[in-house]
Amino acid sequence: MTITQEQATWFAQTFGQLADNVERAVLGKRHTVELVLTAMLSEGHVLLEDVPGTGKTSLARAMGQSVQGTNTRIQFTPDLLPGDITGISVYDQKEGVFEFHAGPIFANIVLADEINRASPKTQSALLEVMEEGRVTIDGVTRQVGVPFLVLATQNPVEQAGTYRLPEAQLDRFMMRTSLGYPDHAATVRILDGAAVATADLAPIITPQALVGMADLAAQVYVDALVLDYIARLVDSTRSADEVRLGVSIRGALALTRATRTRAVSQGRTYATPDDVKALAVPVLSHRLILHPEAEFDGVTQEAVIGQVLLDVAPPSRREAV
């Protein structure tokens, strides 16, 4: 079953309303807001990587407020334990049974603040739930519900008291992006009090409607030539001279899902190579592992993906539509 033009038009309008609502709290960052929305509607997770004070937490909170569901915030610290995230079983002496107390991971939108300040053992508590939407504790598997989005923030690893995220966990984030500092005009508006407090944002959509939008996005038509283009991009990352480990098949699938969502957010029922190119850097770059020599020379993951996009010729618009 494929999406109709009427459904695509409705999707684009609703997508725009969500972006407008979030941007009331995070001024001047429309592109990043749309990326996060694209990931959420593609059933993916987002890593916001930036220096403190740029609005990462405000963006995540605004996303949570815009959806009429449950949202929680976990402040990651060095002494945080896995059970503090997933929940624990507590023995009830009166009843003589163990009773499960759900952790903050059981919510529609979870803000994992400063995720790289927790120990690797605690970080690993997110691996299963981010991949499969469920948590296994004491041999019992529990679903966290839908929709489910982890919005994690991360400070640069050069800062004191941080732990680098392992590659296996990075690969579970659909996108990595950053906010950066606002431009001059947005800064003046923020100083003038134009930004709306996230707590004052009205919800725009219900969780059930959000799941319906994700289902619509999955029906967007992707031509075989566009799929071939994605596969060639991924293959090129694995053979690049600066790369020790290229993009995984999980990364290729994530790019395909995000491409569908971006296409329908533009009001189209089909994906184009331009959709792929617009998402390649935020979806693929964090999945690369560079050679130490390349890192020492100042090569970045984003630069490698940028070069791959230049080297791999996309199909023509006429062929791919």
The sheet that has 109-113: what strands, in order across it?
71-75, 109-113, 149-154, 46-49, 175-177
What pLDDT, on a 0 to 100 scale, did the predictor assign at position 279?
Answer: 97
What pLDDT is attached to residue 224? 95
Q: Is residue 51 helix, strand or coil?
A: coil
User: Which residues of the chain carry a pLDDT beneath 50?
Assistant: 320-321
Per-residue confidence (pLDDT) for residue 164, from 0 to 100: 80
- 0.85 cut: is pTM over it? yes
CB contact at 8 A, 282 and 45: no
With beta carbons less than 8 A apart as the criterion, state whether 247 and 171 touch. Answer: no
State residue 308's pLDDT score.
Answer: 95
Give the pLDDT of residue 318: 52
The whole-angstrom separation of Cα 76 and Cα 84 is 10
Compute φ and ψ for 57, nearest 5 degrees. -65, -40
**Residue 92 exposed, middle or buried by CB count within 10 Å (0-12, 13-18, 19+):** exposed
* pLDDT for res 120: 84
Which ranges of the chain does DSSP label H, i.e. alpha helix?
A: 5-23, 30-41, 56-66, 82-86, 120-123, 127-132, 167-170, 184-191, 207-217, 224-239, 249-265, 273-284, 292-296, 301-311, 317-320
pLDDT of residue 145: 80
Q: Are 179 and 49 in contact (CB under 8 A)?
A: no
Dihedral angle sign, alpha carbons of residues 291, 296, 302, 303: negative
Neighbours of 30 (CB within 10 A): 13
**143 φ/ψ angles, rounded to the nearest 5 degrees:** -80, 140
| pLDDT confidence of residue 159 | 62
Would strands 134-137 and 175-177 be described as parallel, antiparallel, or unpaired?
unpaired
- What's the CA gap between 171 and 152, in Å, rounded? 13
